[in-house]
Amino acid sequence: MAVDIVIVNWNSRELLEKCVESIIRFGGEHLGKIVVVDNHSSDDSLRFLADYPEVDLQQLTANKGFARACNLGAAQSSAEYLLFLNPDAALYEDTLNGVVDFMQHSSNQNVGICGVKLMDEHNQVARSCSRTASPLGLFFHSLGLDRPWPKLGQAMREWDHLSNQKVDQVIGAFYFVRAKLFADLSGFDERFFVYYEEVDFAYRALKNGYSSYFLSDVSAYHLGGGTSDQVKASRLFYSLRSRLQYAYKHFGYAQASFVAFTSLALEPIVRSLKALMRGDIQSIKETFTAYKKLILWGVGQASE
């Protein structure tokens, strides 16, 4: 069964090249199309693609956001499965074979989304699965309490990720999904510019009877951070914005407003105090910049 792979690129030339090379080398019999959607990069990250006629390149004239770019890439697909793969990720020899075999099995037809064990640059297993976002979990995250007590938060950092199991959500860096399900749910919600689009999709899939599954028997590579590490203030802004958008979409007004209060009133204080204790003045500046952008965005939303 064919798997079409969609990669959204933004100024990540070296990462993208390694990613594409791994697909061509290890894609195997199940590999269909390789679609690269470029979100208006300003570097030379696309020049090397001239040497890869296997790649279907979609160049956007503006940065449309990750969710929008993924949907545009998926629109080029005709395969049974879609794999959304970050540029900072890469396949191993049996990655696609392992996931396809699992998804094809008759007992797994209610699994709509599959993630795999992701190995980082230190050959350590990344903690990549999460619980469904909740107002209380986001409250604990805002206070930083999910670090010492991971079970309080969304990220499943307390679990070693060394066993196969059904989960609420898998990370978007390696997001293997049934193409029909993706189409039936109209893809990712494009209101999420970046972050939470896969969280939202997994929740909608679950409500439609399709679970997410973590497959530890199959591995892939993921550097982590990737292009989002390039602009830390912007990363924080978009993460917070998408969190609020998710809350108001799924929690109801009262609970979403609670999330907004903790995110806007408590979290910046916690972040700044932690940075101050580390002597990290740059992080305080970036936090201020991110929250300034978030407040301006919120004012704009309220005036519409």
The residue with tokens 């679950």 is 206
The answer to the question of residue 262 being in a domain is: yes
What CATH number corresponds to the domain at position 208? 3.90.550.10
- Same domain for 166 and 247, yes or no, is no
- Same domain for 43 and 167, yes or no, is yes
The answer to the question of residue 153 being in a domain is: no
Comparing C-alpha atoms, which of 99, 93, 91 is closest to residue 18? 91
Collapsing DSSP states into helix, strand and coil, what is residue 36?
Answer: strand
Chain segment 261-295, per-residue pLDDT in tens:
999 999 999 999 999 999 999 999 999 999 999 99
- Same domain for 281 and 196, yes or no, is no
- Same domain for 247 and 174, yes or no, is no
- Same domain for 46 and 185, yes or no, is yes
- Same domain for 76 and 176, yes or no, is yes
**Is the pTM of the predicted complex or chain greater than 0.75?**
yes
The answer to the question of residue 58 being in a domain is: yes
pLDDT > 80? residue 141: yes
Contact criterion met (CB below 8 Å) for 227 and 207: no
- Same domain for 17 and 105, yes or no, is yes
pLDDT > 70? residue 230: no
The answer to the question of residue 75 being in a domain is: yes
- Same domain for 183 and 217, yes or no, is yes
Please give the Cα distance from 238 to 47 (Å, whole number).
29
- Same domain for 86 and 66, yes or no, is yes
**Average model confidence (pLDDT) for the chain?**
94
Among the residue ranges 30-39, 78-87, 90-99, 228-237, the one predicted with the least confidence is 228-237
For the CA atoms of 134, 138, 140, 145, the dihedral, rounded to the nearest 10 degrees, stands at 120
* Angle, helix 232-250 to helix 281-303, in steps of 10 degrees: 40
Q: Whole domain around residue 12: which residue ranges?
A: 3-126+161-225
Please give the Cα distance from 76 to 204 (Å, whole number).
23
The pLDDT score that the predictor gives to residue 64 is 92
- How many CB atoms neighbour CB 294 within 10 A? 21
- Same domain for 206 and 221, yes or no, is yes
Chain segment 174-211, per-residue pLDDT in tens:
999 999 999 999 999 999 999 999 999 999 999 999 99
The pLDDT score that the predictor gives to residue 302 is 64
- Same domain for 102 and 27, yes or no, is yes
- Total number of domains in the chain: 2
Residue at a domain's end among 225, 252, 270 = 225
